[in-house]
Structure 1
């Protein structure tokens, strides 16, 4: 399974929605505190691009002695129609400063030094050490995950449905009969499917081996579907 640090890094560098929570700006509308871009620097710091006139940039500009604290909250929502679509959230807290660099006309970059990180997702709730976050890399499929899941749901629904046969005698296998199988999450190690029926539950299907790209995933999914069909 992907480590908590890898999952956190994947969410922070993804296109999932996010908001920057800053003390004193609780009344600001969420869209005004949503960064236009998020990147992670060499030391694990999170770089956030905002419009020059945003309240976050003004707050950072007026802070004294780098004492402005902030929390970046990233929310992961499933890209397919399924009950309980929020797949997870991660929070990155630390000191917020403005980066003195040219980011283009009308924009500014803020630096969030990673002090504490926490994650609550489909795998569970965990704390993440800043050094582990800095050393981690995002999942290689993350940039394509939404498109891949939508493709599986639209074009390979019958194959995904057959995966319930691989559950064997595990808990929930009986209730999978007649349930709708929805591909919920995908990473280099496997596919998570949500079976929606009288009893809704998730099942994780490991790939034959970890994959590094979409080409490897296609081959791995073909093997997985063959196993389910047999």
Structure 2
């Protein structure tokens, strides 16, 4: 399974929504606290791009040499229509400063020095050491996950539904009583789906690949193998 540090790093560098929570921005609209871009520096610091007149920039500028505490809250929502679409959240807390000279005119880059990291997602809940976060890398499939999951749901729905044959018998009277199977999450280690049984109960299932995949080409082979196993 991906480590908690890798999962958090993936969320930071993905397109999931992020909001910066900090003092001194009372009355700011939620969209004013959402950075236009996020990236992670070599030492694990998180760089956040904002318009130069955004409330977080004003707060960081006003703080100057003082330590301005801040929390970057990330919310990961499934890119396909499934019940309970929030797949996870992560919080990176630390100290915010301006990083002038990096952004283009009209923008300002803010630097979040990470002190604490916490993640709560489909794998579980836990804290992440900032050094582990700094040394981790995002999942290689993350840039393509949204498109891949939407493609699986739209073009390969029957094959995804067929994965129910790999889940074993959930009813004493016959085949697995699974009404619907929807792709939920994808990473280099495997595919997670959300299932609804005939009684309306929801549960998730995980299908691990024979070996971790490093790119989309490897994923195609892994998915082909998985679909073949379901048919056989």
Residue 37 of structure 1 is matched in structure 2 by 37
> Is residue 159 of structure 1 aligned with residue 163 of structure 2?
no
Displacement of 1:196 in angstroms is 2.3
Counting only pairs closer than 5 Å after superposition, residues 206-225 of structure 1 correspond to structure 2 as 206-225=208-227
Q: C-alpha separation between the residues in 1 aligned to 2:63 and 2:176? A: 55
Q: Which moved more, 1:63-72 or 1:123-132?
A: 63-72
After the TM superposition, which segments of 4 or more aligned residues of structure 1 sit over 6 Å from their partners? none
> Is residue 204 of structure 1 aligned with residue 201 of structure 2?
no
Q: C-alpha separation between the residues in 1 aligned to 2:167 and 2:26? A: 47
Residue 229 of structure 2 is matched in structure 1 by 227
- Could you tell me whether the CA contact under 8 Å between 2:185 and 2:192 is conserved in 1? yes
Q: C-alpha separation between the residues in 2 aligned to 1:10 and 1:170? A: 34
Q: Which moved more, 1:112-121 or 1:175-184?
A: 175-184
Displacement of 1:65 in angstroms is 2.7
Q: CA RMSD in A?
A: 1.5
Return the TM-score normalized by structure 1: 0.95
1:61 counterpart SS class: helix
Residue 83 of structure 1 is matched in structure 2 by 83
Residue 127 of structure 2 is matched in structure 1 by 127
Equivalent residue pairs, number = 228
Return the TM-score normalized by structure 2: 0.95
Deviations 1:93-150 (A, max 9, x none): 0000000223111000000000000000011111000000000000000000000000
Residue 54 of structure 1 is matched in structure 2 by 54
Displacement of 1:158 in angstroms is 0.8
- Could you tell me whether the CA contact under 8 Å between 1:208 and 1:224 is conserved in 2? no
The runs of 5 or more residues in structure 2 that have no matched partner are none
- Could you tell me whether the CA contact under 8 Å between 1:9 and 1:138 is conserved in 2? yes
- Could you tell me whether the CA contact under 8 Å between 2:168 and 2:176 is conserved in 1? no
1:74 counterpart SS class: strand
Deviations 1:157-196 (A, max 9, x none): 111111111112579xx89524211000000000000012
